[in-house]
Structure 1
Amino acid sequence: MPHRWLVTGCSSGVGRALAERLVDEGEQVLVTARRTETVARFEGRPNAVVAPLDVRDEEQCRAAIDLAVDRFGGLDVLVNNAGYGQFGAVEEVSAEQVLAQFETNLFGPWRLLRLALPQWRAQGGGHALFVSSTAGFTPYPGLSAYTASKFALEGLAESLAQEATHLGVRVTILQLGAFATGYGRAMIQPSLPVAAYVPVYGEMRTAFEHFEQLPGLNDPTLFAETVVRVVREPNPPLRVPVGPDAQAHLTAALEQRAKQLAAAGEDFF
C-alpha cells in the first residue's frame, strides 16, 4: 500500500529529488513549497497534490495538514526538509537573523508536528523525519546560527521519540553530509560582519562560495533512496547518516567527544 506523505521544501535540492522519487513510485504526496510555481512540474500527477507552505506561517501549516488528510484520508509520513543556512560567527549574526533561522529550521517542524500528532494518535501511528546535518552534531566555524538550529532540531526529534513511541509514532533524524544542491548559493550572509573572525572561517567561507564545484558531493538521489528505505523499514533507526562523508564526520565527532569526556572526568571528578 502506498504511504501518504507531506514533504516540505520541495522547490529544489534533496526535497525535489525526494518528491520526484515518491511520485514516480506511486506514493501519495503533498508536494509543498513557499512558491508553488517552483513545484509546477508535479501538477497534474494523479498521486501528487501541490500546495503552498511557508513553515513559518501557522495557518499555512494547518492548511497543509488538513489538505493531506482531506485528499489522502490521512497522513503517514511527515518529512521536515524545509530549511536554509545562515553564515556568520556568533557575534556577526543579528538577533533578527537568529530568529529567522530558528523560525524555519526549528519552529516550522514543531508547528507541523503539533498539527500532525492528533492525526497520528487517532490513526495509531505515523512517521516523522527530520532533515538535519552533520552540523546538528558537530559544529563548524562560521555556522553558529545554523548549527544551533540543527542541534535544537535533533533535540526536538529525540524528545518526540521518547514521548510518542507508545502511540505508534516513529522518528528518524537524517544527518546529511554535503550534497550537490544550491545550498552554498542560498547561504545568508551575516548582518554584522567582524574582520577578526575571518582567520577562523575564511577557508570555509570561500568553499561555500563555490560549494557546488566541490569534489565528492553526494547526489540528491541518494537522499531520496535513503528516505524510501528508512520509511519502509519495520523498525527504522532514530539516526541515519546520509552519505559516506556524513558517516566519517559523525564518527570522528563521537571519538572526539569521548576523549573530551574522559579528560574532563580525570580533571574534575
Structure 2
Amino acid sequence: MTQKTWFVTGASRGIGAEIAKAVLAAGDQLVATSRKKADLEQFESNPNVLTLSLDVTDEAQVQAAVATALERFGQIDVLVNNAGFGILGGVEETSAQEVERVYRTNVFGLLNVIRAVLPSMRQRRSGHIINLSSIGGYRSTPGWGVYSSTKFAVEGITEALHDELAPLGIHATVVEPGYFRTGFLDGSSLQRTATEIPDYADTVGRVRQIASELSYQQPGDPVKLAQAMLQLANADTPPLRLPLGTDTLRAIAQKNAYVEQETAQWRALAESTDYR
C-alpha cells in the first residue's frame, strides 16, 4: 500500500492523538498540529512526523503551516479536520461571545485549513478531506444546540465539498462519532455556559448532569475509531458520511423515523404552496 501523508489538526489529545498514533503505526507520514507544539512531544522522535504549533483561527498561520508541511513531505494526501471544542448550555443561555468563540474554531478554522490544503490537492487531482462532525451534527438535543449548530455547518460544508471535488478526483467525508471515551466531557475540550437559567433545569440542567456522569464512561473506543479512519482513508470509494458508534446509528435512525412521520403528517400543507 502506498505511503500517505496525513495532516491532522488537534492531534495532541483525545481522538486526534489516537488518529496520529494509528497513522504512524501504519507506516504513514504525519503532520501533527496543536495550539501548543509542546503538547505534541510524544510524536517528535518519529522521523515520519512533523509537529507544528497551529491555531486554526489564524489564517496566516494556517497557510504557513501547510506550506511547511508541503516543503517537508511534498504532498498532503489526507486532511483530518479534528480541531474543535464543545459548548454545553441552552441556546438562550449561550452569550454572543461564547457562540462566536466556538464558531471561530469549529467552523471558520476548519474552512481556513480546507482553503490552505485544497490548492495542492487540486494540482495533483488527488486527496481526501475528512471533517470531524459529531452525533450532534445529525441530531441536536437540549444543551447542545449551539455546539450542534457548528457541526450542522460542518455537515453542510462537507456535502457541498463532496460534489464540488468529486470531478477533480478528491474525496470529502464527514465523520460522525458518537460518545467516545476521551476527555471531551471533563472540561479539557468542553466549555459550559457562564449563564444557567432555572427554567431550563429539567432539560438543559439534566443534560449537564448526564454529561458529568458519562465522562470517561462513554461507550466508544477511540483506538477503534482511529483504525476506522485508516480504513476510510484507504477506501477506493469512501462515503460522504461515516457515522461511528452504535449510539450514533441509533440517533440517526430515531431522527429519520421522526422526520418521515412528521413529513407525512404535514405533506398536504407542504404540497399546497406550489403554483397550480
Shorter-chain TM-score category?
Answer: over 0.9
Structure 2 gap ranges (5+)? 272-276
**Which ranges in structure 1 are unaligned for 5 or more consecutive residues?**
none
Maintained 8 Å contact 2:182/2:216: no
Q: What letter matches 1:122 in structure 2? A: Q
Distance 2:265 2:95 in 1: 35
CA shift for structure 1 position 52: 0.6
Shift of the alpha carbon at 1:193?
Answer: 2.2
Distance 2:14 2:255 in 1: 26
CA distance in 2, matches of 1:60, 1:224: 27
Q: CA deviation at 1:213?
A: 4.1
2-side partners of 1:218 and 1:137: how far apart? 17
| 1:109 to partner: Cα distance | 1.1
Task: Name the Cα RMSD after superposition.
Answer: 1.2
1:198 pairs with 2:201? yes
Partner of 1:130: 131
Summarize the alignment of residues 1-269 of structure 1 with structure 2, pairs less than 5 Å apart: 1-186=2-187, 187-214=190-217, 217-269=219-271
Under a length normalisation based on structure 1, what TM-score does the superposition of the two structures give? Answer: 0.96
Supply the AA of the counterpart residue of 1:118: P
Q: How many percent identity over aligned positions?
A: 33
Contact 1:222 1:243 survives alignment (8 Å): no
Shift of 1:258: 1.2
SS where residue 239 of structure 2 aligns? Answer: coil
Distance of 1:4 and 1:117 partners within structure 2: 14
Name the aligned partner's letter for residue 250 of structure 1.
I
SS in structure 2 of the partner of residue 172 of structure 1: strand
* Alpha-carbon distance in structure 1 between the residues aligned to 2:61 and 2:186: 27
The answer to whether the 8 Å contact 1:183/1:211 transfers is no
For residue 210 of structure 1, give the secondary structure of its aligned residue in structure 2: helix
1:20 and 1:213, CA in 2 relative to 1: closer, same or farther beyond 3 A?
closer
Count matched residues.
268
CA–CA distance in structure 2, aligned partners of residues 211 and 179 of structure 1: 10
